[in-house]
Amino acid sequence: MEITYNGITIPFFDPEECKNLDNVKLGDNGLPEQVLVSLSGGCDSASALYLCLTHFPDIEWLPYTCRDLNAPGDADSAIMFIDKMQKEFPHANLQDIQVFEFDDKDPKYFADAQYCIDHYERYKDMTVVGMVKVLLIDRITTSLMQKYDRPLRFDGMSKNPSEQEMIDGGFLDVSEPRRTHDETWPTMVRQIYQPFINVDKKFIADIYFQHPFMLKEIYPHTKSCTGTAWWTNNFTRVCGKCFWCYERNWAFGDELYPIKNLPLIDKPPKGYKGSLKTLPIPKVVKDGKIINL
Ligand SMILES: [Zn+2]
């Protein structure tokens, strides 16, 4: 079938496209029988799953989330979404969520991550911690796939805004270049399906604007900020300075994602690496005074 949001029409679980998949078990209708859905707690994956349950309730949906031990709240959002969606779609074949933990600031993974950054063109601009996160989630997903009979691996990753839009918004310097592209990328490669890889966050935002359940029940709990405990005052606010904050504000607007007049936070003490294990008490500077929110 096809779906249209933000004036853009894209295929969504098209049986013709599914013929491009490799080693995925397809049913008589040409669609995968089991789909592993990666949920981050963010708005992309939640909206992708909502459309899946709306249009294809009979497929067996297998949600999972990877809990970042340095930002544990994101997984809580993912868990909440499945609870809400199981109630919203009682007839759908949506299984309970599986939760796995990882620590992307554990130095024992840094050497592997640095190797990938040094040897793979598409990872060359990543930070070590960002690369560890990609590696660990990939390992978790690969081992999870072994538990099932040739499932499809599915996520809601969208592409970056265009370079010009990021320049105009003042956030090109914090963007991940690997997600910026003008050419059309294949949405189905081997066992992986990424239907939103060629559309940006304004497409995602329109899914929320078009479906009241998404805007009212899911949106307020979606996470996108990757700021550390320090810069988010122990996850009680967004940082307003990471790529994900800028992108979300660009797509949803100031009212739904305000970042422009946040109280300033003083620099973290020397040696602070963003790990919760070394978390000092966050301080906020407001009107020139240091306060705790
Ligand atoms: Zn942020």
pTM greater than 0.85? yes
Query: How far is it, in rounded angstroms, from Cα 24 to Cα 150?
Result: 5
Q: What three-state secondary structure class fits 193?
A: strand
For 232, other C-beta atoms within 10 Å of its C-beta total: 21
Adjacent-strand bridge partners of 152: 35
Nearest to 218 by CA among 90, 47, 71: 47
Show pLDDT as tens, one digit a residue, over the chain (293 residues). 999 999 999 999 999 999 999 999 999 999 999 999 999 999 999 999 999 999 999 999 999 999 888 777 889 999 999 999 999 999 999 999 999 998 888 899 999 999 999 999 888 888 898 899 999 999 999 999 999 999 999 999 999 999 999 999 999 988 877 777 778 999 999 999 999 999 999 999 999 999 999 999 999 999 989 888 888 888 889 999 999 999 999 999 999 999 998 888 888 888 777 766 544 444 455 565 555 44
Domain boundaries, the chain: 2-221, 243-291
| 224 Cα–ligand 1 center, Å | 7
Q: What sign results for the dihedral spanned by CA atoms 137, 227, 71, 199?
A: negative
| 97 Cα–ligand 1 center, Å | 26
| 193 Cα–ligand 1 center, Å | 27
The DSSP element (H or E) to which 48 belongs, if any, is helix 43-55
Asked: is 2-221 a CATH 3.30.70 domain? The reply is no
Region of residue 30 (phi > 0: left; psi between -120 and 50: alpha; otherwise: beta): left
Query: How far is it, in rounded angstroms, from Cα 17 to Cα 229?
Result: 42
Q: Name the residues around ion ligand 1, CB cutoff 5 A.
A: 225, 227, 238-239, 242, 245
Query: How far is it, in rounded angstroms, from Cα 227 to Cα 201?
Result: 19
| 237 Cα–ligand 1 center, Å | 9
